[in-house]
Amino acid sequence: MKRKFAFIMATVCTLIIAGCGNSGNTNSAGNGSATNAPNASTESAAPEAGKAPAKDVTIKMFQFKVEIAEQLNALAEEYEKETGVKVEVETHGGGEDYGALLKAEIASGSEPEIFNNGGYIALVPYMDRATDLSNEPWAAQLIPTAKTPATVDGKLYGMPMNVEGYGLIYNKDLFAKAGITEEPKTLPQLKDAAAKLKTAGITPFEATNEWWSMGIHLVNVGMAHQPDPKQFIDDVKAGKQTIKGNAVFKQWLDLVDVIIDNAQDNKMTTDYATQVAEFASGKAAMMLQGNWTQGDIDKIDPAMNLGLLPLPINSEEGTILVGVPNNYIVNSKSAHPEEAKAFLNWMVSSETGQKYLTKEFKFIPAEANITADAADIGQVAVAVQEKSGSALGWNWDMFPDGVTQGFGAAMQEYLGGQLNHDQLLEKLDKAVQDIVKQ
């Protein structure tokens, strides 16, 4: 399965090289299609290219990407100047539960024109609102696997936000100061690097207490290393397998302990913003995050010398994790879905929109026709591109809403020393069963 995935990744990278001049991503999640849903909206395609959208219209975007909130608001202002259409951006992320807030927003009677969704099983509750975007002008330019999370019965119900990857971002200068001359690729090598950093008086890891970082990104390492991640997740949901007793997750615990045992003293009170700021200030040599942090790092130290390490769980070489972080869903029940489609098309087709995607958002584009280089997207994104050929994928959206929050709560308890290994794995299993049995 992993060899097959690596072959697919290599193919995808070739496609991205052809379109972008630099390589890209894939998402390794199973069969590549969200769960079928019969009530999908079948709205017509967007207005013909070049047709100006209606004036004096306001559309709302309800989005979770806190890293680009400021830049996205600036982009919305540019769009209003060009078209007269106002885009109101409301951002909820970081420590907030975006999924719960979106549900509350809709339950209150508000229907944002555009909202974020990860696809797969997470898309199912919103299929009565999701607009078919298959015939949008940008859809033909998508990297093929970027379509996977939001595709249902051959139709595309979301615009992939971008391509992202995560691993251990590291400070090359601090590694050099500690005498580390080669990137650690296996768990024994990572342990050795942590020991050398501590000897040199350098904190190896800047950890965070955020539930989503631990419950989504860190737990996914154990899911992604399964021989068949989708089958394993399906079996865990069906009660046919458990996380406790799984050989891969036993090894995964070693990686978790290396990070937690070699992290800063105040890790229990370190939120996401603090984690990135402390790392960017040189207070630790590594942090488990992805290329989405580049913009915030640059605000503190734009000259920081960065690299990206894999996340190994044993003596074999580890990998980074690559996928589509989210999709823009056009809400057919909103007041202005056509104007929403026009805005999304402008965002990836206009010179202004493409400039923001690459130079301001620091995104690895999901569209093969949008060019980006290191000066645009940053060192971490370039490292993602370089290492994506062997990457594993993102699997958390195969779980029903609420499961990853349960994973995060269990990981927070473990971070605080309240659980041992067996108790942690039991809690991860319980997080799944508590939701699927409802």
Strand order in the sheet with 86-91: 86-91, 58-63, 114-117, 327-330, 159-160
Contact (Cβ atoms closer than 8 angstroms) between residue 419 and residue 425? no
Burial of 179 (0-12, 13-18, 19+ CB in 10 A): exposed
Which stretches within 225-368 are classed as H helix? 229-238, 247-261, 272-280, 294-300, 337-349, 351-355
Q: CA 92 → CA 29, 99, 102, 287, distances in Å?
A: 26, 9, 9, 23
Does residue 143 have a pLDDT over 80? yes
| pLDDT tens for each residue of 310-342 | 999 999 999 999 999 899 999 999 999 999 999
pLDDT band at 6 (very low <50, low <70, confident <90, very high): very low
> Residue 348: helix, strand or coil by DSSP?
helix
Contact (CB, 8 A) for 47 and 75: no
> For residues 70 and 85, what is the distance between their CA atoms, to the nearest angstrom?
19
Coil, helix or strand at residue 312: coil
- pLDDT tens-place string over residues 150-205: 999 999 999 999 989 999 999 999 999 999 999 999 999 999 999 999 999 999 99
What DSSP designation does 263 have? Answer: B
The residue-averaged pLDDT of 407-415 equals 98
Residue 359 has pLDDT above 50, yes or no: yes
Whether the pTM exceeds 0.85: the reply is no
